[in-house]
Amino acid sequence: MNNYLTGDKIRYYRKEKKMSLKELAQGICSVTKMSNIELGQSNATDPELEKIASKLEIPLSYIKIAQEDTTIIKQINEIEDLIYLDQMEKAKELISKIKDHYNTHIYLNAISIELYYINGLYCYYSNEHDRATQELNNALFCEPSKNVERLTFKIKTYLLLSRISYEEKNYEKSLIQLIEAKKIADTKVSVFYMLRNTIHLNLCIHYILLGKLALANIFIDELDLPTQPLVTLVRGTLAFCEKDYVQALSYADETRSAAQETSNKELILKSLSLKMKIHKVNGQDEEYTNLLEVLKTYLSSFKFPTNHLYLSLAQDYLQEAISQGDMESCQVMFDYLFNIKKKSPFISLHYKTHHLYAKYLKHFSNNYEGIQYHLNCALEFCPEYQLLDRAIITHELAELNYTPESSYKTSSKLFYEHIRKQSVNNELHFFLPMPIF
């Protein structure tokens, strides 16, 4: 081994640079790897590492952990790919193998942020959102590190937590989590270039939804991916909010064209929705009706996977179908939504399916018992933090029970009115894309 790796000089350098023992161990492994390549060896031998560890007063286990870092990152990336490809069994098997391989306290501590993150991602795509949130929060409490890979996982953890909060309509919390991700990404602008783009796009989506269009414009102008279909759709939504319907229509057409090339279901549906809304605002009833037929064709041909994104999408389209009096589309969507409930009963958004079914019954049959049953189910499943939806459902139950003089209805109505004034523009969900991670 090269002599400059051992001795007082390195100890002094570590203290001057305020490096942790783990960071120094990583540096040692990088240099020993280069040295051994020159010697025709693939890895540093234990005696070599023991000698270095002894001279630098570093536990040998730290150096071994640092050697494993590159392997771990590759394995985690492989698991991510499997999850995104919906190969959940293979992903679960690989996660178990990693845990078995690093099944000692010190090794698991060293890779804990990666494991918590990938467990959280796996749980998210398995529709176990409470468990996903717990795993991701655990990742945030791991030992802080300036290591780029670990900071990357911390940013990705915040992005996924933000997405979960957004889906739960907890927008304030989602925005705070995004800002935390931005703080980390801003420390190494060139390194986290792509992640910063993702964060800025998500901030833009949030600010549009919250009606802060000036801030939305600032973040969308900072994006370096101006032609990406997702960005184009966000620009279209922003133009719609600014009442520039000609520009919004152009962006919607551009998004749909690009989305069809890649068969991106979400963007095809959302761009169609944006066009429909523009035609509706402009009083173009014929164009609106034609697009509704196109939309129905798409919905009947898509086989939606069982996850939060498509559940939310289906609920958005169901809302539109009810308002249009389209019983056929309603039935297709309800069959899909109640089938998801059987397969994945723990998804928090199921309360909304019951609420929509109550609206459907009220609109088409006025079945009192059915309406009351589904409103009660909606209230039972609705999370405590969904204050607005709980207030609305409670108010509708009070109206249904014909108790106009009761304090129950009066307080419910006041609460409903109070929260309604503070709510976001919910119609934008119909065509504004979900935050990405």
Any domain includes 219:
no
Tell me, yes or no, whether 155 and 26 share the same domain: yes
For residues 275 and 396, membership in a common domain is answered with: no
Closest listed residue to residue 179, CA positions, set 219, 208, 120, 235:
219
Q: Are 35 and 74 contained in the same domain?
A: yes
Within this chain, do residues 162 and 26 fall inside the same structural domain, yes or no? yes
CATH code at position 238: 1.25.40.10
Domain encompassing residue 159: 3-167
Amino acid at 35: S
Are 297 and 339 in the same domain?
no
Q: Give pLDDT, residue 63.
A: 56
Q: Are residues 28 and 159 located together in one domain of the fold?
A: yes
CA distance 354 to 365: 16
Q: Could you tell me if residue 105 is inside a domain?
A: yes
Q: Give the per-residue pLDDT at 391.
A: 77
332 and 279, same structural domain? Answer: no
Q: What is the pLDDT of residue 38?
A: 32
Contact criterion met (CB below 8 Å) for 273 and 264: no
Determine the angle formed by the axes of helices 112-125 and 88-101, rounding to 10 degrees: 160
Judgement on whether residues 75 and 107 belong to the same structural domain of the protein: yes
Last residue of a domain, one of 167, 182, 214: 167
Q: Has residue 205 been placed in a domain?
A: no
- 134 and 260 belong to one structural domain: no
User: 375 and 328: one domain?
Assistant: yes
Residues in the chain: 437
CB 211 within 8 A of CB 424: yes
> Of 167, 184, 206, which residue sits at a domain end?
167
For residue 185, being part of any structural domain is answered with no
Structure-block tokens of residue 349: 């958004």
Locus of tokens 């991510």: 80
Q: Which residues contact 420 (CB under 8 A, 6 or more apart)?
A: 388
Answer yes or no: is 182 within a domain.
Answer: no
In a domain, 260, yes or no: yes
Per-residue pLDDT of the chain (437 residues; tens, 9 = 90+): 333 334 454 555 556 555 565 556 555 554 444 333 333 344 555 666 666 666 656 666 655 555 555 567 778 888 888 887 778 888 888 888 877 766 654 445 556 788 889 899 998 888 788 888 999 998 888 766 667 777 888 999 999 999 888 877 778 888 899 999 999 988 887 778 888 888 888 899 888 888 888 988 888 888 776 568 888 889 999 999 889 999 999 999 999 888 888 877 778 878 888 888 888 888 887 887 787 777 767 666 655 554 555 566 677 777 777 877 778 778 877 887 787 777 666 566 778 888 888 888 888 887 888 888 998 888 888 876 666 677 788 878 877 776 555 545 555 555 555 555 455 555 665 556 666 75
What confidence score (pLDDT) does residue 115 get? 85
pLDDT at position 239 is 92
- Measured between its terminal Cα atoms, the distance across the chain in Å is 43
152 and 103 fall within a common domain: yes
Residue 221 inside a domain? The answer is no
Q: Residues 384, 259: one domain? A: no
Q: How many domains does the chain have?
A: 3
421 occurs within a structural domain: yes
In terms of Cα–Cα distance, which of 375, 370, 314, 373 is closest to 347?
314
pLDDT of res. 54: 67
